[in-house]
């Protein structure tokens, strides 16, 4: 793919620089479509994953206004999907799909729920892989069940894309959201894939760009960055996934051996992303633990559960039935290209020392 543009010209302009910008934009669109295994006309550029999720869910509901549409959304979705469904509740019937303790959706419940009102416009929104605990959903099964009942499927693939195989020609979802920065690309550019014939109403107005679904001046440099980052991530995906899995499993084993009471979120009952590990430590103040790790130069996150007290602050953990009496520290570790076994061994030693101190301070 050529990247000919060095400056930010408007791709909608008719002058030579505008035409060059348009060519750059369309080259990027074609490359992303090739890598995803979909029709290039189905790729709409947006401002990021959140905007793509909003457009998929709210755009579907508003396109079927007056037809009593249904939206099935899992209890462990990103807030971009959960809050979109919440906002859509006045115009659609929203159903929350339960999940098992490992984080996978209940397929029997989904099958039964979809079969209750045949013929109603229905969207199922299930994220491909969870951003907190890393659970990978059985997307092929979800698509098969939904399509059998005449429902459309949207997936938030922000966390999955580039980490595990994601191909629309192999798992034929109807809509897919993704963002560039999760791939190491630029911040502020995302995509929504939409299968031909899926009706959406735009959420903003004022231009005809991106088939009028995401109007406004397009970002050819951001689009090129997205396409390049996606190509590099997919080129390295198999080798990195193997390396990350080995690191994660060894790291997990050492954490369980060294830190009493540590819990692995997601467990071994489900497939998980190779580069993400979420753990919980009962009786430990989350805020104090994360600050202490940060002061040691170890960058981790607590996700939405990053607060003192119960882990119920996380909708994901609550949906999985993970509860604790008193303080409960959630720590999410994310591996990158530069993560080594030495880094993780130091993290185990440091976490063990800090957890002992924080547990002592948290005790009544």
Active site residues: 306
Q: Count other C-beta atoms under 10 Å from residue 355's C-beta.
A: 25
Q: Do 76 and 233 meet the contact criterion of CB atoms below 8 Å apart?
A: no
Q: Which two tokens stand for residue 156?
A: 């938030």
Q: Which two tokens stand for residue 31?
A: 């490359």
Radius of gyration of the chain (CA): 22
- Widest distance between CA atoms in the chain: 71
Question: Is beta strand 262-264 parallel, antiparallel or unpaired with respect to 190-194?
Answer: unpaired
Q: 321 exposed, middle or buried (CB, 10 Å; 0-12, 13-18, 19+)?
A: exposed
Q: 169 exposed, middle or buried (CB, 10 Å; 0-12, 13-18, 19+)?
A: exposed
Q: Which two tokens stand for residue 314?
A: 């996380």
Q: Which two tokens stand for residue 136?
A: 């990978």
The DSSP H or E segment spanning 153 is strand 152-156
Q: Count other C-beta atoms under 10 Å from residue 80's C-beta.
A: 21
The number of residues in the chain equals: 364
The values of phi and psi at residue 318, to 5°, are -65, -40
Give the closest residue to 215 by CA, choosing from 228, 201, 225.
Answer: 201
Residues 178, 46: Cα–Cα separation, whole Å:
9
Q: What CA–CA distances, in Å, run from 1 to 4, 44, 193?
A: 10, 18, 20
Sign of CA dihedral 106, 109, 112, 117: negative
């Amino acid at each position: 793919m050529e990247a000919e543009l060095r400056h930010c010209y408007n791709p909608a302009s008719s002058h030579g620089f505008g035409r060059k910008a348009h060519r750059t934009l369309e080259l990027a669109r074609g490359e992303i479509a090739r890598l995803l295994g979909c029709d290039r006309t189905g790729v709409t550029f947006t401002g990021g994953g959140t905007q793509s999720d909003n457009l998929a869910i709210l755009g579907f509901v508003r396109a079927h206004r007056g037809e009593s549409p249904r939206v099935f959304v899992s209890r462990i979705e990103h807030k971009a999907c959960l809050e979109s469904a919440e906002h859509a509740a006045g115009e659609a019937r929203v159903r929350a799909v339960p999940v098992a303790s490992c984080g996978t959706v209940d397929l029997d419940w989904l099958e039964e729920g979809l079969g209750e009102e045949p013929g109603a416009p229905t969207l199922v929104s299930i994220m491909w892989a969870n951003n907190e605990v890393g659970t990978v959903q059985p997307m092929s099964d979800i698509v098969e069940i939904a399509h059998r009942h005449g429902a459309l499927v949207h997936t938030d693939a922000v966390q999955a894309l580039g980490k595990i195989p994601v191909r629309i020609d192999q798992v034929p979802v109807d809509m897919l959201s993704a963002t560039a920065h999760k791939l190491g690309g630029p911040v502020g550019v995302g995509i929504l894939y939409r299968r031909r014939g899926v009706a959406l109403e735009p959420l903003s107005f004022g231009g005809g760009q991106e088939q009028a679904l995401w109007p406004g001046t397009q970002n050819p440099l951001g689009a090129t960055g997205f396409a390049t980052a996606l190509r590099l991530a997919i080129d390295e995906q198999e080798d990195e996934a193997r390396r990350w899995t080995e690191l994660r499993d060894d790291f997990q084993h050492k954490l369980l051996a060294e830190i009493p009471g540590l819990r692995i979120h997601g467990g071994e009952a489900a497939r998980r992303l190779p580069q993400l590990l979420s753990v919980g430590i009962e009786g430990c103040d989350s805020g104090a633990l994360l600050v202490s790790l940060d002061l040691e130069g170890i960058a981790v996150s607590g996700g939405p559960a990053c607060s003192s007290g119960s882990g119920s602050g996380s909708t994901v953990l609550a949906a999985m039935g993970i509860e604790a009496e008193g303080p409960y520290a959630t720590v999410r570790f994310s591996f990158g290209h530069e993560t080594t076994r030495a880094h993780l061994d130091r993290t185990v030693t440091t976490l063990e020392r800090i957890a002992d101190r924080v547990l002592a301070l948290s005790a009544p």
